[in-house]
Structure 1
Amino acid sequence: MSWEYDEVAFDSVVRRSGGSLVITIPPELKRRFMISEGQKVRLIGVVRRGLHVEGGILIYLGRFEISESAPKLTYTLRREVAVSDRDIKALTSVLDKYGLTNYYVKSVDDHTVRVEVVVSSISEDGIISLTKDDVKRVFDEIARMGWSVESVEESMEEVTWHGIDPSAVTRYVTEIPENIKTRWVLK
């Protein structure tokens, strides 16, 4: 995997602070990478040789993780007729239509399925506003398709996301909800 460089570069000045040298990170990069004061980083010297010798210092932040404590709803659905593969596909197409991506469908018996939905506020595009009421509306539509809701269980689940760019998280929100934690993992 190769590095992708942002289109915008920032100039900074090296200055002395006690016995160390300090570089100022502009607010745009602080926000884009969700950098916080006191965060541990790794500094790596880089050299490129050609007609000239060029040097740089890479500030390695680590691997970005988002953790969320999210509600998990488990619906037990039943049909009067035997559940077919086509019924399951119709069910999942409704879940997909409403943007539910973190779900699991399992057959219990010939007439019953269990659907687990994690009501996560995180997607690859950033933080979205998905509520338990939104999920309830989805299952109201599923009930109109001939399914009856036998039971609904609610629990909490800790979900960890990898591979999401921190700028996607900060793009639409000024403040991250309390149930969402972000961090850079330095390995």
Structure 2
Amino acid sequence: MKKRLPNLGSIACCVGVLSFLMLSACEEPETILAGKREPLRAEEASNTVVNTGLTDNRSEPVALSQAQSNANWLQRHNSPHTRIDHPAFGGELEPIWSVNIGSGNSRFGRIVSEPVVLDGKVFTLDSEARVSATSTAGAALWNVSLVPERDSGRDATGGGLAASKGVVYAASGFGVVSALDAKTGQELWVQKLQASATGSPTVRD
């Protein structure tokens, strides 16, 4: 007679089930704290929408500051001293011109910097740390790379721009802040940081 060999798959399944049951038996029971359960938000207690008194349409007076027509947009609105409370708006927004500012979004990096405007020039920072100056008429004026000599533009991302009194300040993902002459793009000075610059700089006083 031939010996019947045990089914290895069935044995493995039984061992797995027994192991699970043993582990379940060792697990400590969940401790349920005594006391009333309170909802995180008051309106959830009754499952109804709280009446704020603002359900009816009505006209209310609004006091705005005088509209400001700003030719310069010097830096990101990080704090109150950099904001324009009531910028003037002349009408519909329509494309006037477009210009290439360098490398765009890719799997290596993203454009995270907002453009700034100073004295009739628009300054931009592409995804590979290149600063470009464009006239408000759409003419390319100059561009400068902030990438260190031994690095590649794809090695870091982040940074931003600010402008003040003829100088463009550019922070980059390579951990430096550079001051550039707004007219020529010439580097005035460079300050190394202790970490990568992921946001825009702010200029004050």
TM-score (norm 2): 0.18
Whichever structure has more helix as a proportion of its residues is 1
**Bigger RCO (CA 8 Å, 6+ sep):** 1
TM-score (norm 1): 0.19
